[in-house]
Amino acid sequence: MDFKKIQMPRLVYIGSGVINETGKICNDLKIKDNLLIVTGSLTQKIAGDLVKENLEDSDYNVSLVKIDDATEKSVKYVEGKSDDMSLILGVGGGKVIDVSKMASKSKNVDFISIPTSAAHDGIASPLASIKQNNQDSSSLYAQAPISVIADTDIIRKAPFKFLSSGCADVISNYTAIKDWQLANRLRNESYSESAAALSIMTAKLIIESSDAVKKELEESAKLVVRSLFSSGMSISIAGSSRPASGSEHKFSHAIDKIVKKPALHGHQCGVGTIMMMNLHGGDWKFIRDALKDINAPTTAYDLNIDPDDIVDALSIAHEIRKDRYTILGEGGLSRSAAKNLAIRTGVI
């Protein structure tokens, strides 16, 4: 039988104070018995304790664990705490949510995503970025949450850099789709028109609404969360991260390998998008100006990364995920070509 399985959340709640409805939402989803909250040290204070109290008020037995990173060790730790649990709730940023996804898949239990910031599109997608065996982070297929509970009052209070990072991550869909189309033409890679259309529509929405993305504004938080959710859905439809990850993400992951203290993932992808759009022969200035509109970095100096590291990352980016064909090709850029690219786009 030839069929395709698409995982998507059953219930999505986006709004101010919605975190206080967590217990009721779990009841609506027919969740029973014991629940496990996964959170971080800071996000426990921001939202984790509140979720725990709310669930206990709804007569659930609730346990809470804290993690510090998105590693295989953290996933195993959460798995060990998940025996007899009927649901895992990830309350925090991307690392917390990714670890919760992987642990819930391994334990074959449902998972609810409760983001405390909007820095990237992992809040609703079935993919998780996990560091394995002291190696680089890998994008792994986990499972989509059965529900997303995004409290915009909490998210708007997070540092604005997280919101602009989320916007930049969505804008990077532009070059991700160009890379995907290139792989389809040259390698006959499977391509989904519907997933690509949703991805591009989401990126356009962010750019067209860029003047509405303001610090501590709830409407801004709603806009970005909805866009990140939509981008995550394009990944679910495609069955891979192709609609939202291409050469610009390879560049970002290369930065992570080289730099001791990388910038935010979305910000690095945004700067990568400027350069990769130039390689594609597209309107890279349009991308640069859109990033400026949301106060996202557009240069190495904005990222607080040494220009030489930018050039080095461009030179090795093609080695990241060699199975994923992009504009960088198999041989990548020479160091001189990488430097020229960064200079002509104003990145260095």
- 144-160 pLDDT, tens digit each: 899 999 999 999 999 99
Express each pLDDT in 201-238 by its tens digit. 999 999 999 888 888 888 999 999 999 999 999 999 99
Q: How far is CA 27 from CA 18, 31, 35, 60, 122, in A?
A: 15, 6, 12, 10, 25
Does position 2 have pLDDT exceeding 60, yes or no?
Answer: no
Q: What is the pLDDT of residue 119?
A: 86
pLDDT confidence of residue 1: 47
Q: Evaluate if residue 274 carries a pLDDT over 70.
A: yes
Task: Report the percent of the chain where pLDDT is more than 70.
Answer: 97
8 A C-beta contact, residue 112 and residue 160: no
**From 1.20.1090.10, 1.20.272.10, 3.40.470.10, 1.10.8.60, which CATH number describes the 160-344 domain?**
1.20.1090.10
**Sequence-distant contacts of 290-294: CB under 8 A, at least 24 apart:** 290/171, 290/206, 290/207, 290/210, 291/168, 291/171, 293/207, 293/210, 293/211, 293/213, 294/164, 294/167, 294/168, 294/206, 294/210, 294/213
Mean of all residue pLDDT scores within the chain: 93
pLDDT at residue 137 in the model: 60
Stretch 249-253: mean pLDDT, rounded?
96
Using CA atoms, how far apart are residues 307 and 153, in angstroms rounded to an integer? 37
What residues does each domain of the chain span? 11-157, 160-344
In tens, the pLDDT along 98-150 reads: 999 999 999 999 999 999 999 878 888 888 888 876 666 667 888 889 999 99
Residue range 171-200, pLDDT digits in tens: 999 999 999 999 999 999 999 999 999 999
CA-CA-CA-CA torsion sign (161, 166, 170, 175): positive
Q: What is the mean pLDDT of residues 282-292?
A: 96
Residue 260 one-letter amino acid: K
CA 151 from centroid of its chain's CA atoms: 17
**pLDDT (0 to 100) of residue 133:** 67
Asked if the domains at 11-157 and 160-344 fall in one CATH topology, the answer is no
Predicted confidence at residue 250, as pLDDT, reads: 97
Which residues touch 44 (CB under 8 Å, ≥6 apart)?
64, 66, 91
The pLDDT value given to residue 320: 93
Topology of domain 11-157, per CATH? Rossmann fold (3.40.50)
